Amino acid sequence: MSFIRESELPGIGKKFLIQTRSGDKLAVIIHNDGRREMYHFEDDNPEETLSQISLDDDEARQIAAIVGGMVYKPKELETIEVSLQDLIIEWIRVEPHYHGADKSIEELEIRKRTGASILAIVNRHHQKINPGPEQILSVGSTLVLAGERQQIRQFKELLIGKQTGEPDQS
Amino acid sequence: MDDMMFEVGTALILVAIASVIAGKLKFSIIPFLIVLGMLVGPHAPTIGILDFKFIDSQGVIDFLGQIGILFLLFYLGLEFSVQKLVKSGRNIVTGGTIYVTLNFVLGLAYGFLVQMPLYETLIIAGMLSVSSTAIVAKVLVDLRRTGNAETELILGMILFDDIFLAVFLSVMSGLLLGGTASIGATILSVGISIGYMLLFFVIARKGPPILNKLLRITSNEIFIIVVFSTMIFIAGFSEKLHVAEAIGALLFGLALSETEHSERIEQLVVPFRDFFGAIFFFSFGLSIDPLSLGNAFWLAIGAVILTIIGNLIAGMIAGRKAGLSHKSSLNIGLTIMARGEFTIIVANLGVAGGLSVLIKPFSALYVLVLAILGPLLTKESKRIYRGVNRIFKWSEPVEKGKKKHSGVREVSEVSEDSKIKLDQ
């Protein structure tokens, strides 16, 4: 496990000293005014910096998102997550132009018409695991689905609505 | 009245220009503003039609500068909490104690050596012991040293130093401002000072639940009015008790430091501290007659030399005790050497207490030299280390570099130097 030490720099801000598994030593300073600084130290001489970078608050957030993998996600990961023999667990985001957007599970008769099951509805603010029939598939939420390939495809057709003509992934 | 506003405005524009120049040169604004003040002060000659003496407006500028002191110390109070110090560990307490004790004792010895009376000696010792938080923090940020190993120790020692300053100012204001000659009355007024300080420590400890409730004000407008008005009121009230007004502001900050609002207040205070603080340095400069500097010249130079030696020794001991390398330890002494706002505040207390007229020019020269020299020495720490290393033969890094890959080291050394040149 990498090692992180947090310490206070009175009057300046906070300092995080990070020792990575690969042996890199990195110091991150968060200034009280929001600026961030990062220093990468030489391997064999922890007093010399190899590189340093100064970031504004917004830049730091962007870079954090990039490093954290929040901005770019490989395409495959966006949909199919797990496949256990015939069972597939997949997720899909509800877009505003979808036929099924803002309708309840009951209204769409999902189980009856597709056989797929919604395991969870994940919102930015809350998540509902194992949702009941009255749950609304609100715009912007992500649905976690389970079912066979055929069932999932039917579910997508039902949710998106055939008339929108979204190219089918499979 | 029209003239007054124009004079104050002109003064502020000069302050602004000096700040911009200092910023361009990547330097602390403190020495610039003091020199500016001296240049345009009431003692300066009139050049043609240009008369920058600010005689009419001096009262106003002084007052704004006093507000600057209040904000500086109020912020200081907010920043230091005993908890923070305890959390930051034993190294800092050890280092801070060594630092303060060594410098204070050197200061006392120096005062007696130059045959100053007791109170003057105490004030000089105090001036020699308090580092400039503003300059040190700025230097660390500007030179990109915040990531270094010694930085925590430096800032922690300064924090410790600040606490010393609070106690010292309290005791001295009791001694000097009590305005009585008898020993009993002096003890009483020192007692009042210390008791007053303890009262605020108790408030800081026990008060937060009540203060939290009182300060739960949503509107920033009302919040700032309540906090600042109370601060200035407490400062003024303190003066009535013969406790320096700056101490009042500091203690009020301390009382608020443990509340849940401390960060919000800090954020609101910073712009005021920076603005009025600048006026404070300027008005300090205004109050100094450049011609009087000559009298204090040798006295100040002696103190500067003593401070450099004292800081280097204290830095080395503190750093080595904390397990840092010789190079980092040397950095501590070089960085912490800067003197600025707090030294002036100590000197002002001496002046307010009616001590020797030498105190003022002495403090001006002392601060000017160390506010300039300190950051310069810090910047050149690499070269200084190389020089000192030749005498003491500490360094492992160089030997290690030679053994391992001297070629690479050579290159990195050269690139470091060229980088510094580019900065300039």
CA distance B76 to B72: 6
Query: Which two tokens mark B113?
Result: 């050596």
Residue B270 resides in a domain: yes
d(CA B298, CA B312): 21
pLDDT for the residue B61? 86
Q: What is the dihedral of CA A113, A119, A124, A125, to 10 degrees?
A: 110
| Residue A170 in contact with partner chain B when CB distance is under 8 A | no
Q: Enumerate the β-bridge partners of residue A83.
A: A88
Distance CA B257, CA B270 (A): 15
B84–A contact, CB cutoff 8 A: yes
Q: Do residue A12 and residue B149 have CB atoms under 8 angstroms apart?
A: no
Distance CA A120, CA A122 (A): 6
Do the Cβ atoms of A37 and B266 come within 8 Å?
A: no
User: Is A125 part of a structural domain of the chain?
Assistant: yes
The answer to whether residue B417 is domain-embedded is: no
Last residue of a domain, one of A14, A39, A68: A68
- Of A15, A47, A49, A53, which to mutate for an interface test with B (greatest number of B Cβ within 10 Å)? A47
Task: Return the amino acid letter for B95.
Answer: G
- Kindly report the backbone phi and psi dihedral angles of residue B9, in degrees, each rounded to the nearest multiple of 5, phi listed first: -60, -45
Chain A residues with CB inside 8 Å of B327's CB? 47
Bridge partners of A19, per DSSP, are A3, A25
A10, A37, A49 member nearest B159 (Cβ): A10
Q: Residue A145: pLDDT above 60?
A: yes
DSSP assignment of B29-85 equals HHHHHHHHHHHHSTTSPPBTTB----TTTHHHHHHHHHHHHHHHHHHHHHH--HHHH
Residues of A in contact with B404 (CB under 8 A): 44
- Identify residue A156 by its one-letter amino acid code: K
Residue A122 — φ and ψ, nearest 5°? -110, 120
Query: Is A15 close to B146, i.e. CB distance below 8 A?
Result: yes
Q: Is residue B422 part of a domain?
A: no
In a domain, A167, yes or no: no
Question: Among all residues of chain A, which has the CA nearest to that of B75?
Answer: A11
- The residues near B117 (Cβ < 8 Å, ≥ 6 apart) are B356
* Residue A30 sits in the same domain as residue A60: yes
* Cα–Cα nearest to B9, from B61, B69, B49: B61
Q: What is the DSSP letter of B291?
A: G
What is the model's pLDDT at position A110? Answer: 84
Structure tokens that stand for B358 in this block: 């030498």
Is residue A78's pLDDT more than 80? Answer: no
Domain that holds residue A56: 3-68
ipTM of the complex as predicted: 0.70
Instruction: Calculate the dihedral angle through the C-alpha atoms of B240, B244, B245, B251, rounding to the nearest 10 degrees.
Output: -110
Task: State whether A98 and A149 are in the same domain.
Answer: yes
pLDDT confidence of residue A77: 46
- Name the nearest CA neighbour of B343 among B320, B377, B368: B368
Residue B412 domain-assigned (yes or no) = no
Cβ-contact A17, A7 below 8 angstroms: yes
Q: Enumerate the β-bridge partners of residue B48.
A: none
Show residues of chain B in contact with A51, CB under 8 Å: none
Q: Give the ranges where B322-358 is alpha helix by DSSP (H).
A: 326-336, 341-352
B327/A47 touch (CB, cutoff 8 Å), yes or no: yes
Residues of A in contact with B400 (CB under 8 A): 44-45
Does a structural domain hold residue B415?
A: no
Q: Among B143, B322, B378, B399, which residue's Cα sits nearest to residue A44? A: B399
Cross-strand bridge partners of residue A145: A90, A118
Closest to B279 (Cα-Cα) out of B53, B33, B56: B33
B93: nearest Cα among B156, B154, B165: B156
Residue B258 domain boundaries: 3-392
Residues counted in chain A = 170
Residue B53, pLDDT score: 65
CA distance A117 to A145: 6
Has residue B174 been placed in a domain?
yes
Residue B288, by phi and psi: left (phi above 0), alpha (psi -120 to 50) or beta?
beta
pLDDT score of A151: 87
Residue B401 forms contact with A (CB below 8 Å): yes
| Closest Cα in chain B to A38 | B147
CB contact under 8 A, B137 and A11: yes
Structural domain includes residue B407: no
Chain B residues 172-191 with CB within 8 Å of chain A: none
Contacts of A41 in chain B (CB under 8 A): 147
Taking an 8 Å cut-off on Cβ atoms, the answer to whether A12 and B141 are in contact is yes
Do residues A44 and A96 share a domain? no
pLDDT on residue B414: 39
Per the rule left: phi > 0, alpha: psi between -120 and 50, beta: everything else, B393 is left
Q: Please choose, from the candidates B56, B59, B54, B57, the residue with its C-alpha nearest in 3D space to the C-alpha of residue B37.
A: B54
Of residues B423, B374, B396, the one with CA closest to residue B134:
B374
User: With bands split at pLDDT 50, 70 and 90, how would you rate the model's confidence at A38?
Assistant: very high
Interchain CB contacts (distance < 8 Å): A and B? 64
CB–CB of A29 and B147 under 8 A?
Answer: yes
CA distances for A94 relative to A106, A129, A141, B85, B110, angstroms: 16, 16, 6, 52, 78
- CA dist B7 and B58 (Å) reads 9
Structure tokens at B42: 């009431």
- A34 to chain B, closest Cα gap in Å: 11
What pLDDT is recorded for position B105? Answer: 93
Q: What are phi and psi of A5, to 5 degrees?
A: -120, 130
Does a structural domain hold residue A79?
Answer: no
CB contact under 8 A, B328 and A47: yes
Helix (H, G, I), strand (E, B) or coil at A76: helix
Question: Which CATH number characterizes residue B30's domain?
Answer: 1.20.1530.20
Query: Cα separation of B52 and B55, whole Å?
Result: 8
Supply the CATH number for residue A103's domain: 3.30.70.1450
Interface check B133 vs A, CB under 8 A: yes
| Pairwise CB contact (< 8 Å): B155 & A52 | no
Torsion angle of C-alpha atoms A129, A135, A136, A142, degrees rounded to 10: 10
Tokens of B129: 């012991």
Q: Are B303 and B366 in contact (CB under 8 A)?
A: yes
Residues of A in contact with B152 (CB under 8 A): 7-9, 15
pLDDT tens, residue by residue, B245-270: 888 898 898 888 888 888 888 888 88
Residues A58 and A27 in one domain: yes
Chain A residue nearest residue B331, CA to CA: A47
Write out chain B residues lying below 8 Å of A7, CB-based.
88, 152
Domain contains A74: no
A3 Cα to chain B: minimum distance (Å): 16
Kind of pairing between the strands at A80-84 and A127-129 = unpaired
Interchain contact, B412 vs A8, CB within 8 Å: no
Between B332 and A88, where is the model more confident? B332
In a domain, A169, yes or no: no
Task: Check CB contact of A130 with chain B, cutoff 8 Å.
Answer: no
Q: What mean pLDDT is predicted for residues A34-62? A: 85
Residue A2 has pLDDT above 60, yes or no: yes
For chain B, what's the residue count? 424
Identity (one letter) of the amino acid at B236?
G
Rg over alpha carbons for chain B, rounded to the nearest Å, is: 22
In a domain, A62, yes or no: yes
Number of domains forming the structure of chain B: 1
CB contact under 8 A, A47 and B79: no
Convert the pLDDT of each residue in B328-355 to its tens digit: 888 898 999 999 889 998 998 888 888 7
Q: Among residues B308, B326, B319, which one has the least CA distance to residue B377? A: B308
Same domain (yes/no): A113, A60 = no
A150: exposed, middle or buried (C-beta count within 10 Å: 0-12, 13-18, 19+)? Answer: middle
Tell me the nearest-neighbour CA distance from B147 into chain A, angstroms: 6
Q: Does A109 fall in a domain?
A: yes
Phi, psi angle pair for B155, to nearest 5°: -65, -35
Strands annotated E in B67-135: none
Amino acid letter, residue B54: F
Cite the DSSP H helix spans in A2-148.
57-67, 75-79, 105-108, 110-114
- What is the count of structural domains for chain A? 2
pLDDT per residue, tens digit, chain B (424 aa), is 557 788 888 888 989 999 999 888 888 888 888 888 888 877 666 555 555 666 677 788 889 999 999 999 899 888 776 666 666 677 788 888 999 999 999 999 998 888 888 888 999 999 999 998 888 888 888 888 888 888 888 888 888 888 888 888 888 888 887 666 677 777 887 888 888 888 888 888 888 888 888 888 888 889 999 999 999 999 999 888 878 888 889 889 888 888 888 888 888 888 999 899 999 999 888 888 887 788 888 888 999 999 999 999 999 998 888 888 888 888 898 999 999 889 998 998 888 888 778 888 889 889 988 888 888 888 888 888 888 888 777 765 444 444 444 334 333 443 444 343 434 3
Chain B interface mutation, best of A45, A51, A55, highest count of B Cβ atoms under 10 Å: A45
Q: Do B149 and A52 touch (CB under 8 A)?
A: no
* DSSP three-state, residue A117: strand
Residue A61 CA to residue B223 CA, distance in Å, equals 30
The reply to whether A52 and A97 lie within a common domain is no
Token pair belonging to A20: 């990575």
